[in-house]
Each structure stands twice: as structure tokens, then as C-alpha cells.
Structure 1
Amino acid sequence: MHTLLTWLGKTDLDNSREDSEAAIATVVLNNPQPFDQIVILASAWQDEWDDYLHWLKARLVKAKRPHTNVEIHKVKIKSPIHYQSIFDESSKWVNKLSNNSESLTISLTSGTPAMISTAVILGKSRSNVQFVQSSALKGLETVNIPVDFAKAYVKSAAKGMANKALKDPNVAKSLSEIIAKSPDMLDVIRKAKILAGSELPVLVLGETGTGKEVMSNAIHIDSLRADKPFKAVNCGALPQSLVDTILFGHEKGAFTGADKQHKGLFEQADGGTLFLDEVGELPADVQVKLLRVLQEGSITRVGGSESIHIDVRIIAATHRDLLKMVEANDFREDLFYRLAVGVIHIPSLRERTQDIPILVAELMAEINVAASIQHSNKNKNISEKGMEFILSQPWPGNIRELWNTLNRAFLWSKTTDITDQDISDAMIVRSKLKEQPEVILSLGQIVDAKQLIDNYKKKYILAALKATGNNLTKASHMLSLNSHQALKVWMENVGVELPK
């Protein structure tokens, strides 16, 4: 199979409306070897894709060239000049298409300089990749790039893999790509799809690491604002002295060092979505300003007097219990009800164990893609016992903890099958439990202390048995007991039996 990989350019779309060829059409119609597969990457202008594909296929039919396998694929990049996200997306496609094709041709005409330079670096690491470019004066040309990037690229790839491991996984791009089997998660996706089609503010709740930003971004991608900016900010990381200028911007000369006008995140997200992560961390004075923006639909830059209208959809997220914070006067009640119009709660991993095998498969695929760039690395998979061990763990850090553990297990595993021992060795042991709340008893109140203690013991015995795959020796060690016989006595006393 002979494949072409190219980015979609605005000129390609504009010229097609006038039935005129631009870069892509010139390449596919004039390349000496017809392409069996044409893969076009794009991040914008989605409403024009169908018309362009119809036009391009008609041109291919007229030229008696293959036309059935021509597709435009949406890619998730932060901007047309953001190298890391362009690298991440491009590497997936170059690796996949190069492995599955006899030859892969990459067009260097369409796309930004960042896209083209990334394509050159990636393509030069593959023996079956060639480059072409087109121009109005010279038409189609084969490009010979004599520089050997292989050594420099492998080093860069290793760094790229390290960066990938440090970041959260990219397990979904849109709601339709979130695969789930558990009823709770299927209900979350159903509600998210309803909210995506509305203009309502959304509050995403869930424990740390459950994927609240991924879900929020997916809602944006499936919304009417998909072609507009998606801006994200961690409210807990906003410096007190800069929070106003970060959110609302400032005028030139507003304070020492303000040598030019700056648009804040609300203006940068105008027409699109502003994601306020960990909104429960906002200080009280900022909560007041945020409420005013939501009520009035306008902001005023620091040092300015002009009221600037903004059209921004707010998606907020937090792992904290905002209603308890409202009761404690730590979060404004009026702001809470402004944000909590469309509310979805992402379940923890321990509440959606049916989804764990799917998530593990997606995460391992992403790790393998990052590692495959380094020629010495081979694909690795989770063994059956490895999966059983993963399913036995509570994963209090949720998807983020699972992702980091799999990255470490991939690194330490000596074989292509990652075992239960590899995963166990890769886990970070949590030595301290959360401090229990203070016990308060009123005079005359009666409690069954023995029953409370037995219930407490039973919960920890069951948790230890689950974590160790019902291994009595390991479970007794987890509970700081001297022997497995001591654990058996505990189990008999509280009525716990090992499954047969």
C-alpha cells in the first residue's frame, strides 16, 4: 500500500470552492505513484471537510486514480504552532502508517512550519518514508533531505517519552471516543452528551485523577463552540497577586512591569470555553469577581475602566465537596448555584472496575506509541495475572495513579509481558492512612464499641485480602499482624471467609 500523509491547509479549502488545485490536490493528482490511501490531518474548519472530500474524490475519479480510501482525521493540538501537541499527534500517525504501508509519502507544503519541521524529523527516522512538496512555479517535487536525524531523533524521542510519562494520558478526544462498560460511566457519558449540546455551565465532580479535565475538554469538543478556544486554568495554582491579571487581563501601565496590554483568560476564551479546574480553591474575593462576570457577562481589565463583553461558557471542576464548603461559608452559595447548573460526577476507578481493562488497553497503547519511536523498544502488554492484580487494587489516585504505575512497570519489565510482580514493584506504597475524624459522644449516648471495632476490622481485612489476591501471609503483613494464623483468628471473629 502506498500512503500519503498531509496536513489540511486553508488554501486547500478555499481553492476547492473555485474548483482550483492547491497543495494536496497537486500532490495526489501528479505523484508518479498513485496513492492507495490518503490521510489528511486537520484541527479546524470541520464544517468544510465534507465538501472538500467530495471535491477531491471527484478529481481523483476523473484522473482515474484510487479514491475510496481518502479521509480527514481530526487531531487534538493546542495550536498550529504548539510543537509538543503536534509532535504527539504526528508521531502516532507516522508510526502507524509507516508500519502498515509499503511506502509513506509526507507532503511538506500544507501546514505550519511547526507541522512541517516535525514531519521531517519523524519521517527521517523511517526507512520507507519520502517527502514531496508543490509550488505554482515548479509543480510537484520530490524532496531529498540528506541530513541524518536518526541519532538526534532517538535522543529527542527518549525525552518525549519521559515528558509523556509526566503528563496525564490522552485517553479520549470526544465523548464518542470514551469507551465504557460500567453503568455509572455510561450514565456520565449520556449526561455529558446532553450538556455538550447545551450552553449551560457545567460542574464536573470527582476524586483527584478521575479525568475531570479530559471529560470537560470532550464536552467542549462536542459542543457548538468546538471551533473556538478551550482555555484551562488550575484555580489552586493561581498566585494571589496575579489572579486578576491572569483571569481578566490588564492595561498597559496598570502596575510596575505592565509594559503592554494583556488579555486575560476570559478574553482569550471568548466564544469558546473556560475550564476552571479545582474551582473550590478560589479565594473569597475572587469568587465575588467570578460571580459578577457570570451575572453580567463582561469583564474589566486591571487598570482599565471599559466594560468588555465576553461570550464564554464555564466548565468548572473540583474534587472537594462544595456543598459542605457552602455550609462552612468557604464557598459562596450564589456562585455554587451559578456553576452547578449541569452537574456530572465522574466515578472513581474502584466504582467502575468493568472499565479498567479498557482503560489499561488504551493507556498501554499510548505508552507503546511513545516507546516505539525508540527503535530498541518493543511493544509490551499486560499479562493475564497482571490484569488480575490491577483489578484487585483500589487505585485511590484513580486514572492518574494507574497511568504512572503502568509507565513504571513498562520501564522495569524485562519481558514483553508485564507481570503482576512488575506492576506490584511499580506501585508506590502508601504508608500513612488519613487521620480519622475526632470522636464526639454526648452524655447518655450509648454505642456498641465492640461492634464498631469488629466492623472496622472486617473492612480492613477485606481490603487487605483484595489487595493481595487473598494471600494470607501478605495480608497479615499489610495489617501489621505477626502471622497469617493471627489473621485467621481475626477473620473467624468477624465472620470473614476466603472465597473458594
Structure 2
Amino acid sequence: MNTLLTWLGNKDLENMQADKGAAIATLAIKSKIPFDKIVILSNKDEQLWPKFERYLKKQLAINHRPFDDIQVFKAHINSPIDYPSIAKASEHWIAKLSDEAQTLSINLTSGTPTMTTLSVLIGKGKPNTHFLQTTPDNQLIEVDIPLDFVHTYVKSAAKNIASSASALSIHSAAFAALTSQSPAMKALIVKAQKIAVSEVPALILGETGTGKELMAHAIHKGSLRANKPIRIVNCGAFAQNLADSTLFGHKKGAFTGADKDYAGLFEQADGGTLFLDEVGELPLDIQVKLLRALQQGEINRLGDNKPIYVDVRIIAATHQDLQQQIAAGQFREDLFYRLAVGIIQMPALRERKQDIPELVNQLISQINHVGAKHPQYKSKNICEKGIEFISNQAWPGNIRELWSTLNRACLWSDSEMITANDLADALLASHKPQQDADISMSIHDKIDIVQLTDEIQKNYVKAALKASGNVKKQATQMLGLKDHQTLTNWMKRLQIDIDK
């Protein structure tokens, strides 16, 4: 796939109004290789975006060029000359599109000098990225930036004397896909960047839906193995009899149906990274072979005694408590300590509330992009009260649950603005809270069971009020109380005040 990434310039809009060509249309029509996808970034004149999309599609259709995948996306920048926010937006889109495309072309004509500068700085780090610009008379020019540019840039950065423009970005491009406005994520990414540049195995822990696979990709992209393959496997999806063959390969005739030699995931990832998702699900016999691969860098194909030497970095992930699995005899202790060198603990969504507005905008943008393929779909936005509602929910399924809820809200609502009520209707009821499995006491222990009970009640009342936006009627229903007067009496007894 060949992709064009561009900012939407004032001249592009002015010439569209006069039905004349400008930079974006010129590049799309005159490029040697047609673009399968065109991504346009803008932070203003949103009312003109649909018109510009239609104009550009019409121009491409006339010139027999692909025109199905053209879209203007909102760029969350503070101003057209604000380096930090433009750097963040540029990193996000260049990293995403260069991974997806065979070639990524970046337009250097449209947009401000700040946008052009950062596009070059960030884009030159991608091997499949090219730069294009146009002349005032709408001629296309392929820009040849000196080949030693990247080496000079990396050398300067390594010595901590990079240019001020390159130093403005907080995180490397490898981690641009991870939203990190919250202190928890900022601290985590600093740690992850250090792990990325090392060669140690990494173990990513966290609840379901917290983005463990996204973090694994970022660590790989931020490592010295970034240009080598990454292979991904969900260990929980293994058929018992195929786990060995899938990971380590097999020789012809090793089992019924093995009609030729097969290189397993370790060989496929040689020189790169192997990501083992839900590593706690691996059978014990496979854990032994995995430990040998980590310790000695060698594997054996099923049905073959000849060792094969591989250079593979392991990143593993799980939502389970591996220490408990070790105690239960379900996971090898020696393998755990081999994996648990660079440990990343992904925070739950409830622990990174500052990230929620940006995460919602990203997810809604993705949902709108997919929905735009359907003629009757209306592009959706979330109102401020909706964002506030989302921030007040528990999200036990984390980002994955948030994504599903937003999808349902967009599907069920006919309005272009999703409200808090729409989100409440789309939110699935969670299971009853789990009780502690075992409570043990020593003979001399003493507790105030009345105070303990009051604290539990107080925590649940406060949680219900927060989730309902302090709407007593709804909080009463959530808590199973008789009426809101009963809730008021409880609040007085438990000394709970509603925040004004």
C-alpha cells in the first residue's frame, strides 16, 4: 500500500473554492505511484473538511487514480507553530502509517514551516518514507534529503546536543502510539524506553485490555532490532499438540500431516523479537524448551535432534499472577526469573484518568474511519459530559471495554453528538464484586467489625455516586436501596458529602 501524509494548507482550501489545483491535489494526481490512501491532518476549518474530501476524490476520479481512502483527521495541536504538540501528532501518524504502508510519502509544501521541519526530522527515521513538494505552478518535485542526515541526527542526539527542534519531543517515535498524559504512563514509558534499548527479556504485566501488546510493539520498535521481524503468538490459543511445532518448528514426517519441514516462530523471528502473549498458558513441557532457548540460544525442531541457533529477544505478557502459578506448580520458577528482567506493569484505565480524553478521541476517530465506509453512517463526537461520564466509570475491561462501549454508543445513536445517557445505555453491567476467597485470623487478633462494615458501605456509596455523576436516583438503583431518601440517610450516617 502506498500512502500520502499531508497537512491541510490554507492554499489547498483557497484553490479548492476556486476549483484550482494546489499542493495536495497536484501530488495525488502527478505522483509516479498512485496513492492507495491519503491521510490529511488539520486543526481548523472543520466545516470545510467534507467538501475538501469530495473535491479531492473528484479530481482523482477524473484522473483515474484511487480515491476510496481519503480522509481529513483532526490534529490535536495547540497552534500551527507549537513544536511539542505538532511533534506528538507527527510522531503518531508517521509511526502508524509507515508501519502499515509499503511506502509513505510526506508532503512538505502544505502546512507551516514547523510542520515541515518536524515531518522531516521524524520521517527521516523511517526507511520506507519519501518526501514530496510542489512548485507555485503546480509541478511535482521529489525531495532528495542527504543520506547522512539520519546519521548526523542520531549522533547528535546520542551526545545529548541535538538541535532544539529534535529535543522537544518527550517520547521517541517508537512510543508515539501510547497515550501518555497521565503521570503513571509518563513514568512507565521512561522505564520502557530503557528496557527497549537493552537486550534483556521483558515481561509485561497488567489486567486484560490495558494495552500489553501495544507496549510490546513499542519496545520492539524502540530497540536495536526495530528493522528485524517481530512475531506474535497468543499462548492461550495453542492447540495442545501444536504448541511445540508452532514455536520450534518440525521436520518432515515428525507427525501425521507433517509433509514438509517447517520453521517455527523462533526461526521466523531470528534477529528480531518474539512476543509471547498470555505466557502463563504455556504447557510445562514447552516451558522447559523455552527456558533452554533463553539460556542457550538454541532450539530443536520437533522430530530433529540437531540444534538450531537463534538470536531472538523474548517479550512476554500475562494478566495472571505468575507467582501464584509457581506456587501451584503451573509455571516454572526458573523460567519466571529468566523472563522477569525488564518488568513493565501496565496501569489500569482507572489509574490513568488524565489519558481518557485523548484515548476517547483516538478511539472515536478509528470508529468514524471504519463507519465512513457505510453510506448511512454519521460521524460521531463525544460531548464534554460524556467524557466526564467515561472518566467516572470503573472500566474493569480497561481500554478494550471502553472501545466496545464507544462502538455500541455510536451504533445505537442516530445523533452526531454522543451524550452521557448514550454511553450509560451502551455500558454493560458488571458482575457482582468478588469477595475475598479466604479470611484468616490468629487467636489474639481483634477487629472492629462494625467499623469495617461501615467502611465497606462507605466505599460503595461513594463509588456509586461518582459513577452516576452524583445523581442520587441512579446511585440508589445501583446500590439496591429502596429510594433516594434511604440513600440520603445512609450518606448522613456514613458522613458522606457530595462534592460541589
Give the distance between the partners of 2:488 and 2:21, measured in 1 at CA: 72
Question: What do residues 11-47 of structure 1 show as CA deviations (whole Å, max 9, x unaligned)?
Answer: xxxxxxxxxxxxxxxxxxxxxx997249999xxxxxx
For residues 48-127 of structure 1, what are the structure 2 equivalents within 5 Å? 93=39, 100=52, 126-127=57-58
Q: In structure 2, what is the Cα distance between the partners aligned to 1:91 and 1:461? A: 50
Amino acid at match of 1:397: G
CA distance in 1, matches of 2:202, 2:60: 45
1:273 matched residue in structure 2 = 273
1:298-309 alignment, distance < 5 Å = 298-309=298-309
Aligned CA distance change for structure 1 residues 393 and 7 (closer, same or farther; 3 Å): closer
Give the distance between the partners of 2:473 and 2:65, measured in 1 at CA.
64
Structure-2 residue corresponding to 1:387? 387
1:272, 1:313 within 8 Å by CA — same for their partners in 2?
yes
Deviation at residue 99 of structure 1 after TM alignment: 6.6
Indicate how the Cα distance of structure 1 residues 478 and 254 shifts in structure 2: closer, same or farther if over 3 A, else same: same
Contact kept, 8 Å, 2:464 with 2:478, in 1: the verdict is yes
The aligned counterpart of 2:439 is: 439
* TM-score, scaled to structure 1: 0.69
Mapped to 2, the partners of 1:311 and 1:302 lie a distance apart of 19
The answer to whether the aligner puts 1:36 opposite 2:23 as a matched pair is yes
Mapping 1:406-485, distance limit 5 Å: 406-485=406-485
- Per the alignment, residue 229 of structure 2 pairs with 229
Partner of 1:121: none
TM-score of the aligned structures, taking structure 2 as reference length = 0.69
Consecutive unaligned residues of structure 2, counting only runs of 5 or more, are: 5-19, 43-48, 70-92, 97-173
In structure 2, distance between residues paired with 1:355 and 1:143: 43
Q: Is 2:59 the partner of 1:128?
A: yes
Mapped partners of 1:144, 1:457: distance in 2: 64
Aligned to 2:295: 295
Indicate if the aligned counterparts of 2:386 and 2:419 stay in contact, CA closer than 8 A.
yes
1:205–1:344: 8 Å Cα contact kept in structure 2? Answer: yes
- Do 1:473 and 1:483's aligned partners in 2 also have CA atoms closer than 8 Å? yes
Change (3 A) 1:144 1:335: closer
Question: Contact 1:393 / 1:467 at 8 angstroms: preserved in 2?
Answer: yes
Task: Render the CA deviation track for 1:444-468: whole Å, top value 9, x for unaligned.
Answer: 4322111111111111111111111
Contact 2:392/2:469, CA 8 A, preserved across alignment: yes
Return the alpha-carbon distance in structure 1 between the equivalents of residues 200 and 65 of structure 2.
53
Deviation at 1:101, TM superposition (A): 6.6
User: Residue type of the partner of 1:428?
Assistant: L
Paired residue secondary structure (1:127): helix
Q: Deviations over 1:172-224 (max 9, x none)?
A: 84303433211110011111112222211111111110000011111112222
In the alignment, the residues of structure 1 paired with residue 272 and residue 201 of structure 2 have an alpha-carbon distance, to the nearest angstrom, of 12
SS at match of 2:304: coil
Equivalent residue, structure 1, for 2:247: 247
1:404 maps to amino acid: S
- Over the residues paired in the alignment, what is the CA RMSD in angstroms? 3.3
Take 2:436 and 2:232, find their aligned partners in 1: how far apart are those partners?
A: 34
Per-residue deviation, 1:490: 2.0
Residue matched to 1:57: none
Kindly tell me: are residues 362 and 466 of structure 1, through their superposed partners in 2, closer, same or farther at Cα, counting changes over 3 Å? Answer: same
CA contact (8 A) 1:251 1:303 kept: yes
Residue 371 of structure 1 is matched in structure 2 by 371
SS in 2 for 1:239: coil
Change (3 A) 1:91 1:98: farther
- For the pair 1:198 / 2:129, whether they are aligned, the reply is no
Contact preservation (8 Å) 1:209, 1:400: yes
Question: How far apart, CA to CA, are the structure 2 residues paired with 1:99 and 1:277?
Answer: 44
Q: 1:482 to 1:274 in 2, by over 3 A?
A: same
2:124 is aligned to none
